[in-house]
Amino acid sequence: MNKVPIQIMDLTTLKAVVFELNQEIVPSRFENAQQIDSHTIQLGFRTLEKLKWIEISWLAETPRIVSIPPPKRYGEKSTLAKQLKNLLINLALVEIAQTGFERIVRFKLSSRPGKEIEKELIVELMGRHSNILLINRTGKIITLGKQIKNSQSRLRPIGTGDIYTSPPPLKGLVPDYFESFNSWKENICLVPSSFKNSLKNTYQGISPALTLQIASNDYKDAINIINQSVKSIELDTWEAIYKKWKEWLLDLKNNNYTISFEGPTDFKVWGQRKSKANNPKIGNSLSIYYSNKIVERKINSIREKLKQDLGNSKDHEMRKLEEQELLIQSISEYLTMQKKANNLLTLQSPTKKQIIEAQRLFKEAKRKKRSRESILNRVKFYKKKISEIENCELFLDSLMYGVNEANENKLDSIIELKEEVEEYICIKKNSPKFKSNRKKEDSSIIKEIQSPSGLKIQIGSNNRQNEFISLRKGKKGDLWFHAQETPGSHVVLKSSNGLFDDKDIELAADIASFFSRARGNKLTPIIMVPIENLQRISGSLPGTVRHRGGKVLWGKAERAAKYFPHN
């Protein structure tokens, strides 16, 4: 379980990364830069062995410096990337400096090692005040990640051409390894408050993650301790915390950093002894951590927005349907009117007045009948729209169930679903009309597992994927499965690739049951059809098909659940 949504790169982590980078890319020569978004830059440095990349982000929620594998070429033409390439080309990175408990890192560059520093790339990792700045030898700012106007900060506005000034000095005492237990405890207890607040307000370099780490190795215990008043903490607990405090300071002093993903926080870079057998690179591990967390945040953000949009659209269509059904009830008396008119005309000697009344009744009944047919068409239309929305809701829910999928694949799938919803369900007034003949790239990576006989079983995660696996990539000999008369994913057993048996059929039917609205049922009727018997219904959503023939099987969703853990 994640203790916090995203653990920030605090002072301790920053020191660990800077120490590692000094060993890996100093000295090196600057070679390339690319900006992948408005708050993230990637820099390439050529060492004697190879080109190594680092990523610097000044995003308020996840400011960071991490090592990354060689990235795809992207964002080389951004203004900041072009400026850095022009200004730093052929300069050597001779030092990466970070002093004290400040979260400021200076990348110092000169023409070659031993020469005067010509440029400094300054990275300030300070939450919403994070930034990246390039200064020349006189301290003038040449370019930067974001301008800070007077209206945004009276204390320290920053812009191109200004002389760089450091942020205000840190408040609090400098942590000292040689400070006695009594002095340390007394300083923290000067102002009665919770332990986490007292520690943060007393000493420099304290983050929420570090506070948890020195409190206990167990998350629940750590939370309990840091929220206690400093006046109520027992002496033995104080002594245990002080011991951890000393371990932390000793590791900082000796640059003893090893990353671990166990304990009260998502990760920890101190307090472990180094091992030659298993000593992962801190920068690379953090790169994977932040990349996954950022993608997860994007997925959750899109999911919540989609859930809201689909819910609003469904409510709207339901109201329209109810209105039409009420109209149906109000005009259903046309048969009674016809009967009454017939009775008047079948009289032996109807009067002129009765004939006129019968004609009026016939005319009104005819009008109501026409209205009823029109309303029935609208009822059919709204029911179809509601069914399409429910199908998208099912896809959104099914994205929570994976087969060890990479987060990037999940993000691609949910973006595809988002595009479908925007094109077909929640169409915006200013959106261009969808053109059925427009070119689309191949679908994102398809969710699939292996059947007992070793054949692939593919599952559609949205309408486009349904069409992709069933109509575009389905081959003669493949078998198609779908929950009968209920929204669900297309499931394709790739039986064209080899021999299959009853176990393969059973698993495919169970999966079709699991990825349907009938997931909660003990048994679900599943239609199995040779894929060549499918035909696309034109004018409908992608993946909407009709079929010839087929066989009804019974699927058990609970049998398929073990293949798809909930994310």
Per-residue pLDDT tens over the stretch 186-219: 999 998 899 999 999 999 999 999 999 999 999 9
Residue 542 maps to a domain: yes
pLDDT at residue 378 greater than cutoff 90:
no
What pLDDT shows up at residue 185? 96
> How do residues 410-434 score in pLDDT, each as one tens digit?
888 888 889 888 888 876 544 443 3
Residues 140 and 15 in one domain: yes
Residues 112 and 48 in one domain: yes
Residue 215 maps to a domain: yes
Residue 379 maps to a domain: no
What pLDDT shows up at residue 2? 42
What pLDDT shows up at residue 272? 85
Q: What is the DSSP string of 304-370?
A: HHHHHHHHHHHHHHHHHHHHHHHHHHHHTTHHHHHHHHHHHHTSSS--HHHHHHHHHHHHHHHHHHH
Residue 451 maps to a domain: yes
Task: For residue 452, count other CB atoms closer than 10 A to its CB.
Answer: 12
If you average pLDDT over residues 101-109, what whole number do you get?
A: 96
**Dist CA 519 CA 510 (whole Å):** 10
Q: How confident is the model at residue 566 (pLDDT cuts 50, 70, 90)?
A: confident
Residues 26 and 133 in one domain: yes
Residues 200 and 130 in one domain: no
**Dist CA 563 CA 449 (whole Å):** 8
Alpha carbon distances (Å) from 539 to 241, 375, 393, 424, 536: 67, 21, 21, 11, 9
Looking at residue 169, the DSSP 8-state letter turns out to be: P
Gyration radius (Cα) of the chain, Å: 33
What pLDDT shows up at residue 275? 63
> How do residues 121-158 score in pLDDT, each as one tens digit?
999 999 989 999 999 999 999 999 999 887 777 778 89
Residues 117 and 190 in one domain: no
Residues 123 and 204 in one domain: no
Residues 19 and 131 in one domain: yes
If you average pLDDT over residues 471-497, what whole number do you get?
A: 93
Q: What is the DSSP string of 12-73?
A: HHHHHHHHHHHHHHSSEEEEEEEEEETTEEEEEEE-SS-EEEEEEE--SSS-EEEEEPPPPS
Least confidently predicted of 29-38, 205-214, 270-279, 502-511: 270-279
How many helices and strands (H and E) does the chain possess?
A: 14, 17
Contacts of 238 (CB under 8 A, 6+ apart): 181, 185
pLDDT at residue 441 greater than cutoff 60:
no
**Dist CA 506 CA 528 (whole Å):** 11
CA 227 to chain centre: 31
**Token duo for residue 464:** 């486009």
Residue with tokens 């022009």: 86
Residues 120 and 209 in one domain: no
Residues 111 and 224 in one domain: no
Which residues lie across from 97 on neighbouring strands? 106
Q: Is-contact 481 511, C-beta < 8 A? A: yes
What pLDDT shows up at residue 404? 65
Residues 127 and 220 in one domain: no
Q: How confident is the model at residue 180 (pLDDT cuts 50, 70, 90)?
A: very high
What pLDDT shows up at residue 521? 92
Give the burial string for 511-525 (b: 16+ CB within 10 Å, else e).
bbbbbbbbbebeebb
**Dist CA 354 CA 327 (whole Å):** 29
Residue 28 maps to a domain: yes
99: CATH: 2.30.310.10
Beta strand ranges found along 58-169 (DSSP E): 64-68, 92-97, 104-110, 117-124, 131-136, 141-144
What pLDDT shows up at residue 175? 97
Domain count, the chain: 3
What pLDDT shows up at residue 335? 64
Residue 508 maps to a domain: yes
Which residues lie across from 527 on neighbouring strands? 482, 552
Better-predicted residue by pLDDT, 216 or 378: 216
Q: How confident is the model at residue 82 (pLDDT cuts 50, 70, 90)?
A: very high
**Token duo for residue 471:** 């109509």
If you average pLDDT over residues 509-523, what whole number do you get?
A: 94
What pLDDT shows up at residue 434? 34
**Dist CA 417 CA 413 (whole Å):** 6
What pLDDT shows up at residue 148? 86
Domain span at 466: 447-563
Residue 349 maps to a domain: no
pLDDT at residue 535 greater than cutoff 70:
yes
* Residue where a domain terminates, one of 215, 248, 280: 280
Which residues lie across from 55 on neighbouring strands? 42, 66
What pLDDT shows up at residue 542? 86
Residues 463 and 540 in one domain: yes
Alpha carbon distances (Å) from 15 to 19, 104, 256: 6, 10, 10
Residue 550 maps to a domain: yes
> How do residues 222-266 score in pLDDT, each as one tens digit?
999 999 999 999 999 999 999 999 999 999 999 999 999 999 999
Residues 57 and 129 in one domain: yes
* Residue where a domain terminates, one of 121, 144, 167: 144
The number of C-alpha atoms within 13 Å of 543 and in the hemisphere containing its C-beta is 28
* Residue where a domain terminates, one of 280, 295, 320: 280
pLDDT at residue 1 greater than cutoff 50:
no
Least confidently predicted of 76-80, 314-318, 505-509: 76-80
Closest among 19, 21, 41, 43 to 30, alpha carbons compared: 43
pLDDT at residue 483 greater than cutoff 60:
yes
Q: How confident is the model at residue 347 (pLDDT cuts 50, 70, 90)?
A: confident
**Dist CA 539 CA 558 (whole Å):** 35
